[in-house]
Amino acid sequence: MKELSNYQDYWTKAIAYALEIAPNIISALIILIVGSWVIKFINRFVRKFFEKKDYDLALESFLQSFISIALNLLLFVLVITQLGVKSSSLVAMVGAAGLAVGLALQGSLANFAGGVLILLFKPFKVGDWISAQGVDGSVKEITIFTTKINTFGNQVAIIPNGQLSNNTIVNYNGEATRRDKIDVGIGYSSNIKKAKDILLKICEANEKILKEPVPEVYVGELADSSVNLTLRFYAKNEDFWAAHFHVLEELKLQFDAADIEIPFPQTVMHTKK
């Protein structure tokens, strides 16, 4: 009978405690549901606000990610506080957790700092074609921790911002124009001046190749089996590849028409009679 009495006492205390904390649990659930809805509303509002304004796309994605994370952390604090956790205890708990998380996530903190540096110093922006960390491609998105790059093969490469901000970045869109360098070898018996004139005329006839600075051709090397000519010209970033491929095709066609030999590796054998 004594054990039954103890069981009833425990059950009574449990019910009383549940009734005591029920209002807090209900309030916390209401805060969680309403807070989640408010956060979604604010995120939609922020996204639409940026869509109407002509801000830097990198800054937009970074701020949207930061605002969403900050609001969710604030909601977490409100829910925990409503459940009865005292603010002093919460501060101590957050401090201890922050220290542990900080030690465990040093790389993530470095990536966050890297994202801030990228936004401040702007080594590249969304849409730029860059080469970094062994990846070439167009910058698709800059978030608070990573940068997404759309490669030439239409794959998405995700690079941590910490690595990007602390290593070499080649930004091919850093200038409005870009210089191309094409090397082509001709036979020693071919006319150098004629070959150079053909290359310059190809550049002159192509509207995508800039006339200033003036395209130039010079002898770059007297190689073992060829005279190597180097052609240099400038084009706008958006016209660069079209001009590059056009020149390659035209120089082959026009060299063939002018009987200018483009040597290729071959072995010549002489036999004695």
Most confident of 32-36, 107-111, 140-144, 234-238: 234-238
Cα separation, 37 vs 45, whole angstroms = 12
Q: What is the mean pLDDT of residues 243-268?
A: 89
Structure tokens at 214: 């003036």
Instruction: Read off the pLDDT of residues 130-187 as tens digits, 9 standing for 90 and up.
Output: 999 999 999 998 888 889 999 989 999 999 998 888 889 999 998 999 999 999 999 9
Q: Is the dihedral of CA 210, 216, 220, 223 positive or negative?
A: positive
Q: Residue 212 above 60 pLDDT? A: yes
Confidence of residue 271 (pLDDT cuts 50, 70, 90): low
Neighbours of 144 (CB within 10 A): 20
Residue 106 has a pLDDT of 58
Burial 77-90 (b: 16+ CB within 10 A, else e): eebbbbeeeeeeee
Cα separation, 91 vs 211, whole angstroms = 66
Q: Which of 136, 156, 134, 155 is nearest to 146 (CA)?
A: 156
List, in sequence order, every residue forming a beta bridge with 264; answer none if it has no partner. Answer: none
First-to-final CA distance of the chain:
125
Instruction: Read off the pLDDT of residues 44-60 as tens digits, 9 standing for 90 and up.
Output: 887 777 777 666 666 66
Q: Is the dihedral of CA 168, 172, 174, 179 positive or negative?
A: positive
**pLDDT > 90: what percent of the chain?**
40
Residue 258 has a pLDDT of 94
pTM of the model: 0.59
Instruction: Read off the pLDDT of residues 214-231 as tens digits, 9 standing for 90 and up.
Output: 999 999 999 988 999 999
Output the average pLDDT for the chain.
82
Most confident of 68-77, 92-101, 189-198, 261-270: 189-198
Confidence of residue 99 (pLDDT cuts 50, 70, 90): low
Q: Please, are residues 222 and 181 in contact by the beta-carbon 8 Å criterion?
A: no
Placement of tokens 């960390």 in the chain: 133
Domains along the sequence of the chain with CATH: 2-104 (1.10.287.1260), 115-171 (2.30.30.60), 177-257 (3.30.70.100)
Residue 25 half-sphere exposure toward CB, CA atoms < 13 A = 6
Q: What is the mean pLDDT of residues 262-272?
A: 70
